[in-house]
Amino acid sequence: MSAGMSMHASGTEEYQAVFTGATLERLQEILTRYPNRQAALLPALWLVQEARGWISDRNMAEVAELLGLTPAYVKGVVTFYTMYHQHPVGKNFVQVCTTSPCNICGAEDVAMAFLEHTGAKELGATSPDGNWTVIEVECLGACGFATPVMINDDFIESVTPDKVPELVRKYR
Amino acid sequence: MGFPHTPHPRETLVLSKHFGDTDARTYKGWVKRGGYEMLNQALAMEPAAIIEEVKASGLRGRGGAGFPTGLKWSFMPREKKKPHYLCVNADESEPGTFKDREIMRWTPHGLLEGTAIAAHAIQADVTYIYIRGEFTEAWDIMERALAEANAAGVFGKIKIYLHRGAGAYICGEETAMMNSIEGKRGNPRIKPPFPAAAGLFGMPTTINNVETLAAVPLILENGAAWYKGLCLSNPKSTGTKLLSVCGHVQKPGNYEVTMGFPLKDLLYDLCGGMRPGRTLKAVIPGGSSVPILNREEAESTLLDYEGCVEKGTMLGSGGVIVFDDSADLVYQIMRLARFYAHESCAQCTQCREGTAWTTKILERILAGQGKMADLDLLLDLADNMTGKTICVLSDSCAAPVVSGIKKFRNEFEAYITGNRKPVIAA
């Protein structure tokens, strides 16, 4: 079974496989880079997250079947890496670096400003309109440009609390 | 995206010569600047001759450990009986460090050229460049550069692929990185076997840092003697080092200086000193994993491997974190401990428990509920976390705690005695 087409969710809704068409082709190209199928696991999980926004247990089972692994093994890997979402997040996912080098430059105020202006209220929670999830993240590796913030795949440097309202308007 | 600062006259521009020049990012632009010439020459050389040249240059690993690069390459089997692999460590995530990101952003072809030369020197069939998941801009630039170089056919038989990390500091540890590429949790492996004997997919493997490999084409171009001559202090530390300066200085950023450059001059001259009305309190010179220096120590440190060891710390990755007198070191050390607790892979008990309890005790002190005995408890924990685990993450958590308590004990005591108001909720 190559694309998991015969898989069904446990409920009544039919599971829509991620790895079909162009996504499956991309995975097949990725598989040529490694001497075994397991090594394509991290790239495959990225493809799932790109397509669905997060990685469900059912997605993990599909990946497991494609790569010859068990669902439990795949889950073990997913849970190790913080960038893989095991639950849906807001349309805009905001990560504010608050590790020491940014912390001493006021990073916690930046995180608070995002909570205030997005309505997300609490770190890790999603705003009632479903548009925003804000988290504190450990070192983003841009300490000289405090405070770096990632909004989805965009990497934004030198964010201060006064720049937050404009950023929120831009992504809203 | 930020552009780098205008170079300071006291910098030595070797790796950073083309930083800020967008044309140098393109294949054509790189070739126009003499790029890929050294790769062409290297591909016609015997691998052993390249290794000898790099050995003679004195180049040491820029990721943190400072191991001699040529010597590392020479551990790979000379007679190739199995596939050989090269892994490029672009998982830069040591707090305070942001130099590899800058190399990938501005001179992706310089990194690719050094990578291909190294692959030829160790007879690697396949190379994986492991880029941390958060470096989306660097990834796009590297992907474009790799496609251009492949289209031009510059790598010959050498295959280079990018591999994206997914948010795990520990994957910057070389054996954890190999597990991660293999599609596993990023748990470090017990050594031996060392990677050169049994590494990625069980095959002979070398792992090199981005900054290390970016220096290789320049060493071949200008000669080992030139590189060796770039030295202001101890002859065991040669070449230039990119220092990422962050925290409380007027002009943070990446500064490239010759090995042995005085830390004092870096801070007060190149980086413009402290903010008005502020004075220097402490410096972590080599990324958050190395011991903290107080002001007197920092102002007399020479920035090379030996100069930092002389002051009881390490050059590490060259991430210089600067704290002025406004910084609450107890709180910042707690933040570092929390970082290590978050990033522990949890394989070893000393690390899993030690990083978590260190964080909890520091939080308790900051909440005004600490006891004097907590300081000894922290030191005792740190002792049990040092030199007793598979990798050095646990040691890295202990380093700022031990040096912090030793050098800034009064700040901890102030929270315990109630002379300082609690800053976090109990």
pLDDT tens digits, one per residue of A94-106: 999 999 999 999 9
Chain B residues inside the 8 Å CB shell of A95: 134
pLDDT in tens, chain B (426 residues): 567 899 999 999 999 999 999 999 999 999 999 999 999 999 999 999 999 999 999 999 999 999 999 999 999 999 999 999 999 999 999 999 999 999 999 999 999 999 999 999 999 999 999 999 999 999 999 999 999 999 999 999 999 999 999 999 999 999 999 999 999 999 999 999 999 999 999 999 999 999 999 999 999 999 999 999 999 999 999 999 999 999 999 999 999 999 999 999 999 999 999 999 999 999 999 999 999 999 999 999 999 999 999 999 999 999 999 999 999 999 999 999 999 999 999 999 999 999 999 999 999 999 999 999 999 999 999 999 999 999 999 999 999 999 999 999 999 999 999 999 999 998
User: Does B95 lie at the interface with A, CB-CB under 8 angstroms?
Assistant: yes
> Are A140 and B336 an interchain contact pair (Cβ–Cβ within 8 Å)?
no
As a whole number of Å, the end-to-end CA separation of chain A is 41
Confidence band of A3 (pLDDT split at 50, 70, 90)? very low
- The per-residue b/e assignment along B30-50, b for 16 or more CB within 10 angstroms, e otherwise, is beebebbebbeebbeeebeeb
Q: Which of B343, B349, B353, B402 is nearest to B94 (CA)?
A: B343
User: In this structure, what DSSP letter does residue B152 have?
Assistant: H
**Torsion-angle region of residue A36: left (phi > 0), alpha (psi -120 to 50) or beta?**
beta
> Are A84 and B166 an interchain contact pair (Cβ–Cβ within 8 Å)?
yes
> Are A42 and B323 an interchain contact pair (Cβ–Cβ within 8 Å)?
no
> Are B2 and A39 an interchain contact pair (Cβ–Cβ within 8 Å)?
no
> Are A144 and B335 an interchain contact pair (Cβ–Cβ within 8 Å)?
no
The shortest CB-CB distance from A39 to any of B168, B183, B247 is to B183
pLDDT at A4: 44
Instruction: Compute the nearest-CA separation of B40 from chain A (Å).
Output: 24
User: In this structure, what DSSP letter does residue B127 have?
Assistant: E
Question: Which residue of chain B has the CA closest to A34?
Answer: B182
Chain A residues inside the 8 Å CB shell of B244: 143-144
Instruction: Compute the nearest-CA separation of A138 from chain B (Å).
Output: 6
Token digits of residue B49: 């001759």
> Are A143 and B135 an interchain contact pair (Cβ–Cβ within 8 Å)?
no
Question: Which residue of chain A has the CA closest to B275?
Answer: A105
User: Does A145 lie at the interface with B, CB-CB under 8 angstroms?
Assistant: yes
Report the percent of chain A where pLDDT is more than 70: 93
Which residues, numbered 8 to 37 in chain B, qualify as contacts with chain A under a Cβ-Cβ cut-off of 8 Å? none
Angle (CA) A152 A158 A162, round 5°: 90
User: Does B84 lie at the interface with A, CB-CB under 8 angstroms?
Assistant: no
Q: What is the ipTM of this complex?
A: 0.95
Amino acid of residue B363 = E
In order, the DSSP letters of B243-277 are EEEEESSSS-EEEEEETTEEHHHIIIIIT--SPTT
Chain B residues inside the 8 Å CB shell of A98: 335
Count residue pairs from A and B with Cβ separation < 8 A. Answer: 144
For an interface test with A, which of B87, B92, B93, B98 has the most A Cβ atoms less than 10 Å from its Cβ? B98
Residues B54/B73, Cβ–Cβ less than 8 Å: yes
pLDDT at B206: 98
User: Does B288 lie at the interface with A, CB-CB under 8 angstroms?
Assistant: yes
Token digits of residue B10: 């006291």
Q: Which CATH architecture has domain B329-417?
A: Up-down Bundle (1.20)
> Are A46 and B182 an interchain contact pair (Cβ–Cβ within 8 Å)?
no
User: Residues A29-78: pLDDT tens digits?
Assistant: 999 999 999 999 999 999 999 999 999 999 999 999 999 999 999 999 99
> Are B253 and A84 an interchain contact pair (Cβ–Cβ within 8 Å)?
no
Helix boundaries (H) for B35-135: 37-43, 47-57, 69-74, 99-106, 108-121
In order, the DSSP letters of B53-72 are HHHHHT-B-TTTT--BHHHH
Which residues, numbered 181 to 210 in chain B, qualify as contacts with chain A under a Cβ-Cβ cut-off of 8 Å? 181-186, 201
Q: Please give the class, per CATH, of domain B240-324.
A: alpha beta
pLDDT at A8: 46
Amino acid of residue B99 = K
What fold is seen in the domain B22-228? Rossmann fold (3.40.50)
What is the phi/psi pair of residue A22, to 5°? Answer: -65, -35
User: Does B97 lie at the interface with A, CB-CB under 8 angstroms?
Assistant: yes
| Beta-carbon contacts of residue A117 (< 8 Å; ≥ 6 apart) | A164, A165, A168
Residues B359/B284, Cβ–Cβ less than 8 Å: no
> Are A38 and B92 an interchain contact pair (Cβ–Cβ within 8 Å)?
no
Chain A residues inside the 8 Å CB shell of B136: 150, 153-155
For an interface test with B, which of A55, A104, A137 has the most B Cβ atoms less than 10 Å from its Cβ? A104
- Judged by DSSP in three states, A46 sits in helix
In order, the DSSP letters of B193-229 are SPTTTS-GGGS-EEEEEHHHHHHHHHHHHH-HHHHHH
What structural domains does chain A harbor? Answer: 15-80 (1.10.10.1590), 92-171 (3.40.30.10)
A10 pLDDT above the threshold of 60: no
Taking the domains of chain B in order of start, what are their residue ranges?
A: 22-228, 240-324, 329-417
The shortest CB-CB distance from A141 to any of B101, B326, B327 is to B101
Angle (CA) B257 B103 B74, round 5°: 80
Chain A residues inside the 8 Å CB shell of B92: 141
- Check the CA dihedral A63-A67-A69-A73 and report its sign: negative
Question: Which residue of chain B has the CA closest to A45?
Answer: B166
Chain B residues inside the 8 Å CB shell of A135: none
pLDDT at B281: 98
